[in-house]
Amino acid sequence: MTHILVTNDDGVSAPGLLALAFEMQKVGEVTVLAPDRNWSASGHVKTMHRPLRVKEVQLVDGLSAYASDGAPSDCVALALLGLTGEKFDLVVSGINPNANIGHDVTYSGTVTAAMEAVIGGVPGVAVSLDAPENHLGVLDYGAAARFARKIVETLLSQGFPEKTIININVPYLPEGEIKGVQITRQGLRLYRDRLDRREDPRGRPYYWIGGDAPTGVQEDGTDFGAIKAGYVSVTPLRLDLTAYQVLESLDLWEW
C-alpha cells in the first residue's frame, strides 16, 4: 500500500491540510506531520542550531497527526529520516490557500516541503489554491483536494518522473467550472512590494515589506496563464537551477 506523508506550511490546524489528508486517505495510508504554526513564505529551511520537538495531536475530524516546531522541510526530513519508523512512498504538501507560481516557489514553504522530499529520494507534490488575497470567511478546498487526488493517482499509475517536484495550482472556481488540467512551465510573477517605514512608540523606525498582492504575466503554457484561464496547473520542477543557456558562453570567456 502506498504510504503518503501529508504536510503543509500553514500549520497542522489549517483546513487545507485536513482536506488534503482526507482525499489522500483514498489513495493510500496517510501520516500527517506538519508544523505547529504558520511557516508561509519561509523558504527552504533546515533547522540546525536548536533541537526539534514533535508532539502527537488530534485534528478536528479525529485524525491523529504529528506537530513539530520545525519548518515544513524539517517535518519532511524528520519523517523521511525515520521519526515514526515508517517508510514513505510519497510526500504531498498543502493545500496552501494561495497560489505558488513563478518565483513564489523559492519563498513557498508548501513547495520547499516537496523539494525536501525529492532531496530525500521520495516524490514530492505541492498543492496550492488560487484563492483571492482578500477572501473573507471559510475557503472551500474540496475541488482542489479532489483534483490533487486525481493527479496523484495518475502519477502513481504512470510512475513519478525522477528527481521532479510536481507543483499543482488550482483556480478558485466551483468544481464544475474548472476546465481541466494543463501541464505548464513556470510563469512570471509580478511582485508589487513596497517598503513601509513606521515608528514605534519610542520613536525608533521599524519596517514592513508591504504593498499589494502580486499579479503575474498571463502567458499561455505557464502556471499563471493556466489558472487564470480556469485550468488546474501542473508544473514539473527540478532542483537543478543551473542556467544551461549561459553555461557554454560563460565557459568561452577568459577567466
Residues that bind Mn ion (CB under 5 A): 9-10, 40, 96
Pick between residue 108 and residue 182 the one whose CB is nearest to Mn ion: 108
Kindly give, in sequence order, each residue whose CB lies less than 8 Å from that of residue 56, ignoring residues fewer than 6 positions away: 64, 65, 66, 67
Taking the complex as a whole, the smallest distance from the CB of residue 137 to Mn ion amounts, in Å, to 18
Pick between residue 96 and residue 112 the one whose CB is nearest to Mn ion: 96
Taking the complex as a whole, the smallest distance from the CB of residue 126 to Mn ion amounts, in Å, to 10
Residue of 167, 178, 114 whose CA lies nearest to 143: 178
Q: Cell numbers of 3, please?
A: 504510504
Residue with the CB atom nearest Mn ion in the bound state: 40
Pick between residue 10 and residue 74 the one whose CB is nearest to Mn ion: 10
Pick between residue 160 and residue 170 the one whose CB is nearest to Mn ion: 170
Taking the complex as a whole, the smallest distance from the CB of residue 72 to Mn ion amounts, in Å, to 9
Taking the complex as a whole, the smallest distance from the CB of residue 69 to Mn ion amounts, in Å, to 17
Taking the complex as a whole, the smallest distance from the CB of residue 129 to Mn ion amounts, in Å, to 10
Taking the complex as a whole, the smallest distance from the CB of residue 214 to Mn ion amounts, in Å, to 14
Taking the complex as a whole, the smallest distance from the CB of residue 26 to Mn ion amounts, in Å, to 24
CA distances to 25, 140, 249 from 1, in Å? 11, 29, 49
Distance CA 132, CA 99 (A): 9
Pick between residue 126 and residue 160 the one whose CB is nearest to Mn ion: 126
Per-residue burial over 2-39, b if 16 or more Cβ lie within 10 Å, else e, is eebbbbbbbbbbbbbbbbbbbbbeebbebbbbbbbeeb
CA distances to 20, 77, 134, 138 from 32, in Å? 10, 13, 29, 22
Pick between residue 10 and residue 104 the one whose CB is nearest to Mn ion: 10
Pick between residue 10 and residue 160 the one whose CB is nearest to Mn ion: 10
Kindly give, in sequence order, each residue whose CB lies less than 8 Å from that of residue 52, ignoring residues fewer than 6 positions away: 68, 69, 70, 74, 78
Residue 166 buriedness (CB in 10 A; 0-12 / 13-18 / 19+): buried
DSSP 130-171: E--TT--S----HHHHHHHHHHHHHHHHH-PPTT-EEEEEEE
